[in-house]
Amino acid sequence: MRNSLEKVDIRSLSLDQLKVQLASLGEPSFRAGQIYDWLWAKAATCFDEMSNLSKALREQLKSVFVIRAVKVQQSQWSADKTIKSIFKLDDGNSIEGVLIPTPDRMTACVSSQVGCSLTCKFCATGYMDRKRNLNPDEIFDQVVLIDRQAKENYQTPLTNIVYMGMGEPLLNYANVLKSIERITAANGLNMAAKRITVSTAGIAKMIKKLGDDQVRFNLALSLHAANDQKRNEIMPINEQNSLKALADALKYYFANTKNPVTYEYIVFDGFNDSLQDAAELAKFCKHLPCKVNLIEYNPISFAAFQNAAASKIDAFADYLRGQGIVTNIRRSRGKDIDAACGQLAIKTGKEQ
């Protein structure tokens, strides 16, 4: 029997590649379709689950292939019913994902990288090293596992997926798009692309590539300042991706996809919470159809930032709305278990 390191990762194969592999084992091509259905539509994580295959074939598959399934290492429950999980990868690395239940939706927040390389000053993940990109199946598995949590705990399946966990999705472009392909495919999880949002810190050339690829999912830009000097201070990526470069890329993206963009804006006390800041943001919003999500900041031990006062956030929102900009205020969820926006850093707590 082959060493597991020598076995082929079966989920790295396309359907056509799987047909070729099975032909070499003397199996008819329709078997590939059956196996593919087990892997992606039924999310099987071991060959013994594939009950319409003979035992002999299942044993043969085990000798040639491997399924490197992601497992839940630990989960924590917030007082607001948010569930944060640490997921253990096959190579021993860990990532985090979050289930966010609200009255009208059930959202999975998934990671795209182990750690992050962008060093945003307000984000706990930004203080970690980036170890590697996640494979498409590792992202897929997070969705499957969080969907299972939603059904088991709240008797409701996932309605939405946001790529807002650990890592920068557009620095793992091919694998992120492949994971979305499997999640949305009729022979996958069959979820609507419009239920999926990919969030980026702002990489202009990759935003243009999204436009070239005419993606159907939603795009969110973590903006947090509409002033280059301030954005440089908290998001070093802005030094190579200025607001003008981002605006040009976003206009190109919109021209090719006709998808409006969401701007995520964390409101920091005394830093970006003035009406002047709101005016700068309103001006940036004029480039293309968009909406703004104002987000409460969740303080972390690494940074000195604090959340702006509720009155400041309300005044900021009122100004934007007065300029005709659709604006939502997003209250923090799961911050008592370090599961809120910007807090993911593999911190363990009491398991439930």
Q: Decide which of 10 and 345 is more confident.
A: 10
Residue 184: phi and psi, rounded to 5, are: -95, -15
CA distance 352 to 345: 19
In a domain, 192, yes or no: yes
Say whether pTM exceeds 0.85: yes
Question: Of 251, 273, 11, which Cα lies nearest the Cα of 136?
Answer: 11
**Same domain, yes or no, for 153 and 52?**
no
In a domain, 109, yes or no: yes
**Same domain, yes or no, for 189 and 242?**
yes
Check: CB of residue 291 under 8 Å from CB of residue 327: yes
Q: Which of residues 66, 86, 106 is at a domain's end? A: 66
CA distance 256 to 318: 31
3-class secondary structure, 131 = coil
**Same domain, yes or no, for 101 and 46?**
no
Mean pLDDT confidence for 144-156: 97
CA distance 74 to 35: 30
Integer CA distances (angstroms), 82 to 143, 264, 315, 333, 344, in order: 15, 20, 28, 7, 13
pLDDT per residue over 218-252, tens digit each?
A: 999 999 999 999 999 999 999 999 999 999 999 99
Quote the pLDDT of residue 336: 56
**Same domain, yes or no, for 29 and 144?**
no
Domain count across the chain: 2
Quote the pLDDT of residue 325: 97
Burial class (CB in 10 A: 0-12, 13-18, 19+), 244: exposed
In a domain, 346, yes or no: no
Quote the pLDDT of residue 123: 78
294: Cα within 13 Å, side-chain hemisphere: 29
Quote the pLDDT of residue 4: 55
- Judged against a pLDDT cut of 70, whether residue 337 lies above it is answered with no
Give the domain range for residue 132. 71-337
**Same domain, yes or no, for 177 and 54?**
no
**Same domain, yes or no, for 12 and 142?**
no
SS (H, E, C) 135-204: CHHHHHHHHHHHHHHHHHHHCCCCCEEEECCCCCHHHHHHHHHHHHHHHHCCCCCCCCHHHEEEEECCCH
Beta strands in the chain (DSSP E): 8-9, 65-66, 71-77, 83-88, 94-102, 105-109, 113-114, 132-133, 160-163, 196-200, 218-222, 261-267, 290-296, 326-330
Report the CATH number that the domain containing residue 216 is assigned in CATH. 3.20.20.70
In a domain, 345, yes or no: no
Mean pLDDT confidence for 258-264: 97
- Judged against a pLDDT cut of 60, whether residue 76 lies above it is answered with yes
In a domain, 248, yes or no: yes
Q: Is 181 a known active-site residue?
A: no
Q: How much is the CA Rg of the chain, to the nearest whole Å?
A: 21
Among 66-80, 81-95, 317-331, 333-347, which is the least confidently predicted range?
333-347
pLDDT per residue over 289-317, tens digit each?
A: 999 999 988 777 666 788 899 999 999 99
In a domain, 294, yes or no: yes
* Two tokens, residue 346: 């593999």
**Same domain, yes or no, for 81 and 218?**
yes
CA distance 131 to 309: 36
**Same domain, yes or no, for 196 and 296?**
yes
Q: How many CB atoms lie within 10 A of CB 178?
A: 18
Check: CB of residue 84 under 8 Å from CB of residue 75: yes
State the amino acid at position 44 in one-letter form: A
Question: Which of the following is catalytic: 109, 120, 290, 341?
Answer: 341
In a domain, 159, yes or no: yes
**Same domain, yes or no, for 152 and 298?**
yes
Q: Is 96 a known active-site residue?
A: yes
Question: Which of the following is catalytic: 27, 96, 264, 296?
Answer: 96
Report the CATH number that the domain containing residue 25 is assigned in CATH. 1.10.150.530
Q: Which of residues 66, 91, 106 is at a domain's end? A: 66
In a domain, 347, yes or no: no
Q: Which of residues 23, 44, 66 is at a domain's end? A: 66
**Same domain, yes or no, for 38 and 178?**
no
**Same domain, yes or no, for 76 and 60?**
no
pLDDT level of residue 330 (50, 70, 90 thresholds): confident
3-class secondary structure, 113 = strand
**Same domain, yes or no, for 15 and 87?**
no
Check: CB of residue 164 under 8 Å from CB of residue 108: no
